[in-house]
Structure 1
Amino acid sequence: MWRSRIRPNLLEEVHQRLLQLIEVNQKEIIGIAEATEQEVKALQRELEQLRSETLEVIELVDRLLEEEQRARRRLAEVSSDFSRYSEADIKEAYEQAQQLQLDLLSLRSREKVLRARRDDLERTLKFLLLTKERAERLASRVAVVLDYLRKDLQELNDNWQKMLSRQDLAMKVLEAQEEERRRIAREIHDGPAQSMASVVLRVEYCLKLLTKKPEAMSKELVALQELVRGSLQEVRKIIYDLRPMALDDLGLVAALEQFLDHVRVLHQLEVEFVVMGSPRRLPGPQEAAIFRIVQEAVNNTIKHAAATRVMVKLEFVNRRLNLVVKDNGKGFVVQKVSKGPRKGFGLWSMRERAELLGSELGIFSNPGQGTVITLSVPLAGEEGENGSN
């Protein structure tokens, strides 16, 4: 069966896995953005401290440079005037100038290192800020995509479920068609076909009597007439089951009256048919669907409910037709029947017809409390007409 190859929850599983994967990656991106932000803050603090330290060193270098320049001028002065300054003075000036040069060289080296470190931190900070901005922007985009995916995938999943439902519907329709064909074939084989075979045999017998016992012909022809009449009734019953003529000729109410009279006589069932409001003809598809729902509900009562009484009520009100089918049978658990091996084919077919009518079938039953079927059908064409008045 091609139906069995389709996993009904496949798209839902893919849907959930895809959303989970995107959500996990979204969290990772947010985590990257948060970690980058923490690193940026730490780097900003370090850079601020480094900038302050670099500025202090630069100021110290400037001051030391002035001192070193004064020391060199002092050394030049004492070195050129031996009459005023002693050798010790010259030595002291020289050592002072030399020490200042060494200190200045050390500070300039430190300044260079600090400047390089500062520039490196500034580049790193710029890169981290850009990374943080990209991560936040990407997280925002992923959030938007995730939101769209949730909506679109849910819509896709709903469409998938509808497709599966249509496949299930198609399968059930095929099953119903095959079951109906088997039933009709059985009825024709057991009824009209057998009768026609008997007619052929009796006609052959009549032909023999015509030459041998003409006086017995009358009795045999009467029997043949009854056989043909019975066959005709069986054929009419099969035709009625396929499509009652009264439904097309006289409408829904007359067709239901005829059907319920037949049920009353054939099954010895107490049947009450109530019509309220002003009966009127409905479009053919509406009448056919409502008739089949009543037919299916009553047939279910006959087959399964062991009921002695059934009531069918039609109420024609403004813009709607309300239907109630109620029996005093043994009842059942609706959920259990709906989930059984055949999934309540009769109930399913009634629900499907109700949906085609733009309505919803109500099924109320409990063991020992009978069953009530309800339906409220919007009448075609009347919504717009009444709305325009």
Structure 2
Amino acid sequence: MNEMGSGDKALDFIIREMVDTVTNSKDEIFQIGEDSRGEFEKLNKELHEIRKQVTGLINEGDTLEQRVRLSRMRLSEVSKQFQQYSEEEIRKVYEQTHSLQMDLSMTREKEKQLRERRHEIELRLRNLDDTIQRAEALAGKISIVLNYLTEDFKHVSDALESAKEKQEFGLQIIEAQEEERRRLSREIHDGPAQMLANVMLRSDLVERTFNERGINEALSEMKNVRKLVRSALYEVRRIIYDLRPMALDDLGLVPTLKKYLATTEEYNNIKISFTLIGEERRLEGKYEVALFRLIQEAVQNAVKHAEPSVIQVAFEMKPQNTNILIKDDGKGFDPNIKKEKSFGLMGMRERVDMVNGDLNIDSSPGEGTIVTIRIPITS
């Protein structure tokens, strides 16, 4: 019995040490992200200024080249008919040509140096952006771990009867954490990481395009790079939302839904409407999380698989229950045909069952999809 008590105290001490370590790690990662973001903004401003200077030097160089050509023509004319000009006039024409050539050479050299600095900054910005994204992803994952440690472990000692049960419980949590890390790793690798790698390749192509085919072609290529950046940003935000949107705790379900749907509409170029029926009110945390995740999963399924032009979301709040309808005009599917690894629908059904709700999916090929959910609200 004494051994069991000492084991409990040792485990509690380890838990406290873990909480402190994880908290300090999260703070350090947050500071790394903030420092990187500050440097990113500073370099971005410098890059903007350098681009303006490069444009000015290009225009100045073009003007000087024209003046040099005219001055050389003048010098050639004077050289051929030197008898008609005085020595002073010939000297002035020669000095003017030489001066213009020097100015042109200096301008082109400044332009070259600024281009090199611009390239260095762009490389640094890409590295900083990668650091910021990784810091945000790590902070999100650490928040999950910290939530387990600070919330769930507060009641572990009272809930478990022996050191053996504590050990088994800890192993289950570690397994869940590792599974979440693997999922996030796959999503980041297949999504933002691939996109950012593509952005790096395409951004290098922009400079070569500018040098070889001119500014119009380069601007066209920049538009493609911008699309890739927007897609990567959307994937990062989606992953953060998948972890847990912070606005859900602060603002409540309806404002968070509106923000999420507006963001999804903007980045996917799909019209998404939201209709609230009934009086808006806050619900118990477990219901707000469940309802948000269900709507999020249904909308994401439509965006990823249905290829719709319009998605309609209706949310009805009644005193004793809530009703949800998500409708799209996409390509639809046969609900009776089970697809391998259809984890989205499986997860929705499991989440609905956890809150004693009902889920119905009405769809057929070419006819769109209607998802209806009913959740009873108990106080």
Alignment TM class, shorter chain as reference: 0.3 to 0.5
- TM-score normalised per structure 1: 0.41
Q: Which has the larger radius of gyration?
A: 1
